[in-house]
Amino acid sequence: MAKTLFLYLVCIFTIYANILQNTIDKAPIGATLTLPSGVYKGNIVINKPLTIRGKDKNVIIQGDNRGSVVTINSAYVVLENLHITSSGERMEMLDAGIRLHHVKQCKIDHCKITNTLYGIDMDSVEDSIISNNYITSKKNTLPLRGDAIKIWYAKNNIIQNNTIERSRDVTLTYASHNRIEGNIFLNNRFALHLEMSHQNIIKDNIFKYNSVGILMMGIKDINITGNQILSSKGAAGIAVVADKVNHFHFEHNSVKFNAKALYIDEKGNEKGIQRYISHNQFLYNNEVFHFHSAIQNNIITHNIIRGNIEDVLQDLTSKSPQNNTIAYNYWDRYEGFDRDHDNLGDTPYRIFLYADQLWKQDNKLKFFYNTPILSVINLLSRIAPFIEPVLLLEDTKPVMVLPTEPIHR
């Protein structure tokens, strides 16, 4: 009798545990499944167009800590108002909260994704929307967390109004014509990491307390507009890395409280203007423009550069600056006059390396920045240079009076 009852209970539990998958399998194409409050067994697979919507905020789809919690293999699938949790931990299998595989026109909206290795894995996804979600990772050490959103060979997608916190990265690889807009990135490693991904738009996002705000490698035609990139932390502490990036538009952004604001490494054989940096605020950073190699092929105009320790740095000795248009910026270190009252300096603002060359050769000396001895050495080298100063950058028409500050749109 006891054995019979045990088997009966196991049978009932199995039916309950698989009720969501059974309902999905039996639902007609295009159906809407509205789930009442409760915990539903995950590791479900969706192979047809349909909508799964939580009736309230207490609808949980829970995996068994193996594999992906929800796998979508069909176009026109919508997930709304769900809490998706407890994926597996196998990096090589890309265990995720939601996996979209070779699909188009899907939508993930107002979902909460927690305790997953990867949050959303988008493999060859087109014309889809990821919006209004909260995504955070398993509490592994940072390198062992997966990406909050992994976008691979995907195009024409919108990633909008999500909050992404304490994950590793959001990555775009071979992913073009996507729009990343209105998101909040908090306490991640590389908040956004783009590689070989062209013609994307990054607009009106907030990046805060990440190791790197935006990291770009080998891409072209990127528009970064209206973002706030604040307080990048850790060993890197970089707001934006542009490594071999062509046709880079960086406009109307607010970049504050970072170790490095912009780190730029040009492509060796690039020709013509490649970087357009205008109408930004660079405030209270350690370094603003950090060039790895030659300072060339830039348009830098109408920016506010104020309260930073270093305005321009260059790692490698190279030829003099060329093919730049640098004008109409406000530099708080400019010491010229404006005799004709046109709000432009009568002389260009030239940034030279004087005693700065000392810590360019040995970065440890920078610990003594602004100490009396280095201040005296720097002053003497300006008055009577004992080593030839190096011209880094010249603003031909520096602005005298600080413009109205809210450049961020």
Residue, of 10 and 409, whose pLDDT is higher? 409
Lowest mean pLDDT among 222-236, 249-263, 332-346, 357-371: 357-371
Contacts 24+ apart (CB under 8 A), 204-210: 204/409, 205/180, 205/181, 206/230, 207/232, 207/239, 208/184, 209/233, 210/185, 210/186
Whole-model pTM: value is 0.87
| Mean pLDDT computed over 268-279 | 89
Contact 210, 187 (CB under 8 A): yes
* Mean of all residue pLDDT scores within the chain: 87
**CA–CA dist 183, 239 (Å, integer):** 16
Give the 3-state secondary structure of the chain. CHHHHHHHHHHHHHHHHCHHHHHHHHCCCCCEEEECCEEEECCEEECCCCEEEECCCCEEEECCCCCCCEEECCCCCEEECCEEECCCCCHHHCCEEEEEEEEECCEEECCEEEEECEEEEEEEEECCEEECCEEEECCCCHHHCCCCEEEECCECCEEECCEEECCCEEEEECCECCEEECCEEECCCEEEEEECCCCEEEECCEEECCCEEEEEECCEEEEEECCEEECCCCCCCEEEEEECCEEEEEECCEEECCCEEEEEECCCCCCCCCEEEECCEEECCCEEEEECCCCECEEEECCEEECCCEEEEECCCCCCCECCEEECCEECCCCCCCCCCCCECCCCEEEEECCHHHHHHCHHHHHHCCCHHHHHHHHHHHHCCCCCCEEEEEECCCECCCCCCCCCC
End-to-end alpha carbon distance in the chain: 73
- For the stretch 38-67, pLDDT in tens is 999 999 999 999 999 999 889 999 999 999
Domain locations in the chain as residue ranges: 210-347+399-409
- For the stretch 122-180, pLDDT in tens is 999 999 999 999 999 998 888 888 999 999 999 999 999 999 999 999 999 999 999 99
What confidence score (pLDDT) does residue 391 get? 79
- For the stretch 303-354, pLDDT in tens is 999 999 889 988 766 655 578 999 999 999 998 999 999 999 999 999 876 5
Contacts 24+ apart (CB under 8 A), 342-347: 343/399, 343/400, 343/401, 344/397, 344/398, 344/399, 344/400, 345/397, 345/398, 345/399, 345/400
Give CA angle at 16 (10, 19), nearest 5°.
140
Contact 95, 124 (CB under 8 A): no
9: confidence class by pLDDT, cuts 50, 70, 90: very low
Q: Which residues of 32-69 are buried (b: 16+ CB within 10 A; e: fewer)?
A: eeebeeeebbbbbebebbbbbbbeeeebbbbbebebbb
361: confidence class by pLDDT, cuts 50, 70, 90: low
Residue, of 255 and 295, whose pLDDT is higher? 255
